[in-house]
């Protein structure tokens, strides 16, 4: 444990020494410690991207949660209704259950298509202007 | 209706024992040898932390998606759900739906953002903009608790599978087999790291999927591809009759069991996105789009799997019959193996047995590497060494932890053998949903969320879960309780989710607004940018 303390002290002073050592920096620039996250965060591109993202995923999450809860409550409290035979011995409960599978696959497909069109290009643009590359 | 003749032919003399133990062991042995070879081949270097924890981020979305389903489809999913459907009918199917729909939470809210924000563990994400040490300690605590509970359930199940499939009936013999399974698992993790473990999971997922799909097609074919005919036969051969086609056999008995079912459903759907071993898999891909593709593939394979288990479950009731299943050594868990014996003889039975073992092996390996990563990365490197540990030593600590965790799993599995521990998996989901999901979501989407909120949320969720379980019929006061003789149960439900999940969300909120501590705005901005764009990783 004894060696931990001096090491930690070294990290604490690192930013300072970086400023002093700025002259050694080959680029001569004030050593940009990675991308300027605050500037990216406040840029209109990022704000728009984030709004787009939240406007899709939050309502979608609400939708599938409600649909699942409705199904669970029906199974729990409306067993008679769920027992209605539809085709042969296949009842409403089974069909609704399989519809949960179908809706899960549909939402997955919708999200993937939407993200490819509406998120990925925006992300690529922001990454490029931040110099983070592809 | 060919089923009755099939039953006549197979008037099994040694009731409850199915198949040829030697063949079962041989098929399983072949699986182990193949996976050991693969693990050995892919694990040329595992010296850096990125290699050991995250396979260097080198897997594709497709590979990781298949591995995710391999990690997620535990013995409880395969043997447990098929058995539950065979015995209780529709109510068993409800499990499958929760397990599947839960992946939408991962897809929409978690997978891509977590992969962009963290590197190796759940603690990376939660501690990103908080005070490192307390938050990492909390994240490690919840990771270890969840992983150990989950693991115990898997290992305890192993005993039942051993009894059924290898015809080992003495406790001592079962203990030896459990120990061997555990040692093989430790070997996978030590030699293969995340890369080897991922390959084991992929191989297992493919074999499992092929196996259930073939059984399903065969079963449907036997009934002229009429699912309705299969259902009729299932009802005819089940002691509960037509009722197994409708909801309520298991959960509809009393208002309390119904409420328990709702609580369980909440835990299932909200838990998958908080399971540390699932979250950790998102770090094995190179970028957010591959993380997204992982979930897409996981959803695809799991949809097929759960539809297949529905057919297999009802098929087991139709061809084997509920009475024979319940009379066998493994009770409910033996439905799928017995059905395999019925339709494919000893060979298919051997394959299903091997798949069941492989499932336990792969899932426990995934849990072990997660627990070891959390201890080595969160506790050792970031709490004890304050982020200044060199990576070679960190990996050494991780390997050592893996051995300890593996040995704990073996010991736990031997001790819990034969106990009623099925609730542990549901409980692990409740823990994950209460302690992890609330804090992950707040951390990713709520700028004001701070260290004190994180701690309140995690410990509030974990604590309320533990407390509610301790005072539930799981521990005392019911015929199936762990403690018999004394009754100190105060809480009527066996799954705490319906209370503990809201408690953790409320705790996380209150802990944030009541503390005077301000969230670091610069770090909050950085996290928002990183999580959405992946800049900086």
ipTM for the predicted complex: 0.90
Q: What is the pLDDT of residue A113?
A: 96
Mutation target vs A (from B531, B533, B537; most A CBs, 10 A cutoff): B533
Q: Could you tell me if B319 and B7 are in contact, meaning their C-beta atoms sit under 8 angstroms apart?
A: yes
Name residues whose C-beta falls within 8 Å of residue B468's C-beta, 6 or more positions apart in sequence: B491, B493, B496, B499, B500
Q: Is the pLDDT of residue B275 over 50?
A: yes
d(CA B380, CA B449): 26
Q: Could you tell me if B128 and B523 are in contact, meaning their C-beta atoms sit under 8 angstroms apart?
A: yes
Contacts of B97 in chain A (CB under 8 A): 68, 71, 97, 100-101
Closest B-chain CA to A68: B101
Rounded mean pLDDT of B215-244?
90
What phi and psi values does residue B474 have, to the nearest 5 degrees? Answer: -65, -40
Q: Do A37 and B530 touch (CB under 8 A)?
A: yes
| Residue of B44, B452, B60 lying closest to B289 (CA atoms) | B60
| Residue of B123, B53, B39, B134 lying closest to B397 (CA atoms) | B53
Please count the residue pairs, one from chain A and one from chain B, whose beta carbons lie less than 8 angstroms apart.
Answer: 156
Q: Do A41 and B525 touch (CB under 8 A)?
A: yes
Name residues whose C-beta falls within 8 Å of residue B508's C-beta, 6 or more positions apart in sequence: B438, B439, B442, B449, B453, B454, B456, B457, B460
Closest A-chain CA to B311: A94
Contacts of B388 in chain A (CB under 8 A): 4, 7-8, 11
Q: Do A40 and B107 touch (CB under 8 A)?
A: no
Q: What is the pLDDT of residue B113?
A: 95
Contacts of A120 in chain B (CB under 8 A): 289
* Shortest Cα distance, chain B CAs vs residue A39, angstroms: 9
Contacts of A41 in chain B (CB under 8 A): 525-526, 528-529
Contacts of A34 in chain B (CB under 8 A): 536
pLDDT digits (tens, 9 = 90+) for B388-405: 888 888 889 999 999 999
Q: Could you tell me if B118 and B285 are in contact, meaning their C-beta atoms sit under 8 angstroms apart?
A: no
Average pLDDT over chain A reads: 78
| First vs last C-alpha separation in chain A | 42
Rounded mean pLDDT of A106-127?
94
Average pLDDT over chain B reads: 87
Closest A-chain CA to B387: A8
Angular region, B487: left φ>0, alpha ψ -120 to 50, beta rest: beta
Q: What is the pLDDT of residue B7?
A: 34
pLDDT digits (tens, 9 = 90+) for B328-380: 766 777 888 889 888 888 888 888 878 888 888 888 999 999 999 999 999 99
Sequence length of chain B is 537
Q: Do A8 and B262 touch (CB under 8 A)?
A: no
Rounded mean pLDDT of B57-62?
92
Q: Do B90 and A72 touch (CB under 8 A)?
A: no
Q: Could you tell me if B112 and B308 are in contact, meaning their C-beta atoms sit under 8 angstroms apart?
A: no
Q: What is the pLDDT of residue B31?
A: 84
Token pair in block for residue B171: 């406790």
What pTM was computed for the model?
A: 0.88
CATH homologous superfamily of B3-7+21-417+424-533 equals Sodium/glucose cotransporter (1.20.1730.10)
How many C-beta neighbours within 10 Å does residue B15 have?
Answer: 11
Q: Do A88 and B258 touch (CB under 8 A)?
A: no
Closest residue to B228, CB basis, from A40, A87, A115: A87
**Residue B47 confidence class, pLDDT cut points 50, 70, 90:** low
Contacts of A45 in chain B (CB under 8 A): none
Closest A-chain CA to B292: A112
Long-range contacts of residues A123-126, Cβ cutoff 8 Å, at least 24 apart: A123/A49, A123/B288, A123/B532, A123/B533, A123/B534, A125/A45, A126/A40, A126/A43, A126/A45, A126/A46, A126/A49, A126/B533, A126/B535
Name residues whose C-beta falls within 8 Å of residue B112's C-beta, 6 or more positions apart in sequence: B288, B289, B291, B292
């Amino acid at each position: 444990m004894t060696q931990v303390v001096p090491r930690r002290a070294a990290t604490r002073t690192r930013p300072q020494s970086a400023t002093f050592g700025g002259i050694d920096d080959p680029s001569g620039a004030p050593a940009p410690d990675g991308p300027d996250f605050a500037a990216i965060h406040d840029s209109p591109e990022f704000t728009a991207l984030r709004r787009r993202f939240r406007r899709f995923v939050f309502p979608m999450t609400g939708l599938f949660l409600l649909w699942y809860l409705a199904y669970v409550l029906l199974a729990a409290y409306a067993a008679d209704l769920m027992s209605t035979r539809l085709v042969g011995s296949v009842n409403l409960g089974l069909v609704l259950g399989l519809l949960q599978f179908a809706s899960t696959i549909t939402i997955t497909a919708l999200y993937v298509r939407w993200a490819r069109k509406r998120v990925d290009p925006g992300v690529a643009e922001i990454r490029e202007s931040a110099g983070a590359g592809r | 209706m060919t089923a009755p003749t099939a039953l006549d032919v197979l008037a099994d003399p040694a009731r409850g024992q199915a198949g040829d133990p030697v063949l079962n062991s041989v098929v399983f042995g072949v699986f182990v040898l193949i996976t050991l070879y693969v693990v050995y081949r892919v694990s040329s270097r595992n010296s850096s932390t990125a290699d050991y924890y995250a396979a260097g981020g080198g897997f594709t979305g497709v590979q990781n998606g298949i591995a995710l389903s391999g990690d997620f489809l535990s013995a409880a999913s395969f043997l447990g759900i098929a058995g539950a459907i065979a015995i209780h009918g529709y109510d068993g199917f409800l499990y499958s739906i929760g397990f599947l729909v839960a992946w939408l939470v991962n897809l929409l809210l978690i997978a891509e953002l977590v992969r962009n924000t963290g590197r190796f563990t759940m603690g990376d994400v939660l501690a990103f903009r908080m005070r490192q040490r307390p938050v990492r300690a909390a994240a490690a605590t919840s990771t270890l608790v969840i992983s150990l509970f989950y693991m115990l359930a898997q290992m305890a199940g192993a005993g039942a599978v051993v009894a059924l499939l290898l015809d080992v009936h003495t406790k001592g013999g079962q203990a030896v087999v459990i120990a061997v399974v555990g040692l093989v698992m430790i070997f996978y993790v030590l030699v293969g790291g995340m890369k080897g473990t991922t390959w084991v999971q992929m191989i297992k997922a493919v074999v499992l999927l092929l196996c259930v799909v073939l059984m399903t097609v065969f079963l449907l074919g036997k009934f002229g591809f009429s699912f309705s005919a299969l259902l009729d036969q299932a009802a005819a051969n089940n002691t509960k009759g037509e009722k197994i086609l409708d909801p309520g056999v298991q959960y509809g008995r009393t208002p309390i069991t119904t409420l328990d079912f709702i609580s369980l459903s909440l835990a299932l759907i909200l838990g998958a996105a908080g399971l540390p071993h699932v979250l950790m898999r998102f770090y094995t891909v190179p970028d957010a789009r591959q993380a997204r593709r992982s979930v897409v593939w996981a959803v695809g394979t799991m949809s097929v799997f759960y539809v297949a288990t529905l057919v297999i479950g009802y098929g087991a009731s139709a061809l084997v019959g509920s009475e024979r299943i319940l009379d066998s050594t493994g009770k409910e868990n033996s439905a799928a193996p017995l059905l395999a014996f019925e339709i494919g003889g000893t060979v298919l039975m051997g394959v299903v047995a091997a798949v069941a073992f492989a499932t336990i092996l792969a899932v426990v390996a995934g849990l072990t590497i997660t627990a070891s990563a959390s201890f080595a990365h969160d506790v050792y490197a970031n709490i004890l060494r304050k982020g200044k540990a060199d990576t070679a030593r960190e990996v050494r600590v991780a390997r050592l932890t893996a051995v300890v965790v593996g040995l704990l799993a073996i010991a736990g599995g031997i001790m819990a053998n034969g106990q009623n521990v099925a609730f542990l998996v549901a409980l692990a989901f409740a823990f994950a949903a209460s302690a992890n999901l609330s804090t992950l979501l707040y951390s990713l989407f709520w700028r004001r969320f701070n260290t004190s909120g994180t701690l309140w949320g995690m410990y509030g969720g974990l604590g309320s879960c533990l407390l509610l379980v301790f005072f539930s019929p799981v521990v005392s006061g019911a015929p199936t309780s762990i403690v018999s003789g004394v009754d100190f149960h105060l809480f009527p439900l066996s799954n705490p989710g319906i209370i503990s999940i809201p408690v953790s969300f409320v705790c996380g909120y209150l802990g944030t607004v009541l503390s005077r501590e301000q969230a670091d705005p610069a770090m909050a901005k950085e996290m928002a940018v990183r999580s959405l764009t992946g800049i900086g990783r």
